[in-house]
Amino acid sequence: MTAPAFQLSGVSKSYRGTLALAPTDLTVPAGQTTVLIGQSGSGKSTLLRLMIGLVRPDTGRVLFQGTELTEANVLSLRRRMGYGIQGGGLFPHLTAAQNICLMASYLGWPQSRIQAQLSELVHLTQFPESGLNRYPSQLSGGQAQRVSLMRALMLGPDVILLDEPLGALDPVTRYDLQTDLKTVFQKLGKTVVLVTHDIGEAAYLGQCLVILRGGRILQSGTLEQLIRSPADPFVTRFVQAQRSPRDELRAAPS
């Protein structure tokens, strides 16, 4: 049994007096995909941002691979994490390749190592090589998301943190990317923490699901556990809150 990727104990956060996250304990196991799921304002993004140190907790401690995140070590620890957000968060003044390689070249990697890593990532994410010299404004939403993923993976991080990565995509692109993401996660075998509000996506990509509501964790476990023994009626409601066109077909009068 390897050490957990993250251990959060008694972590809470308020923004200007509004509670975003009540004191929370959470252990994120290494080597699998954990999905933080909930409605808007449930605290799932805050939880993820606490893990990478973009927000500092009001109370409690965040441990990354056994080391507490502090002001002093957050920069170096972050380089062992990859982070991606909705829309990609790409730097508009840099090409796709420059976006991906920014940190590696800042750290002074030799050009050969950068090139090798880049072509490996292009292959892994099935990104068209020709798109590398494009600027973010010239990329489609799906392409931007692949570039964002490559940027997150460039330094070979131990964990990948993704905040609604597929949030703004059309259903078909989203479906394709979900498939590709799953393949990538499986190939890499890394720890992944994913934030989404889509239970279908969570069930497809994640091994461990963490349901949040109003700044609190309601329940965490596998999909099966959530369905079989829900800790709260809301868990059941949330798990079932998904429409499928097939249901409509069945309900239609013949």
Long-range contacts of the stretch 2-5 (C-beta < 8 A, 24+):
2/30, 2/31, 3/30, 3/65, 3/66, 4/28, 4/29, 4/30, 5/29, 5/30, 5/64, 5/65, 5/158, 5/159, 5/191, 5/193
- Shortest Å, Cβ 86 to other proteins: 8
Of 52 and 166, CB closest to other proteins: 52
Residue type present at position 87: G
- Shortest Å, Cβ 221 to other proteins: 28
Of 15 and 91, CB closest to other proteins: 91
Of 31 and 89, CB closest to other proteins: 89
Which secondary-structure segment (H or E) carries 48?
helix 44-51
- Shortest Å, Cβ 122 to other proteins: 19
Of 65 and 207, CB closest to other proteins: 65
- Shortest Å, Cβ 49 to other proteins: 8
Binding residues vs other proteins (CB under 8 A): 52, 54, 75-79, 81, 83, 85-87, 89-95, 102-103, 106, 135-140, 151
Residue 26, classified by CB atoms within 10 Å of its CB into exposed (0-12), middle (13-18) or buried (19+), is buried
Contact 166, 196 (CB under 8 A): yes
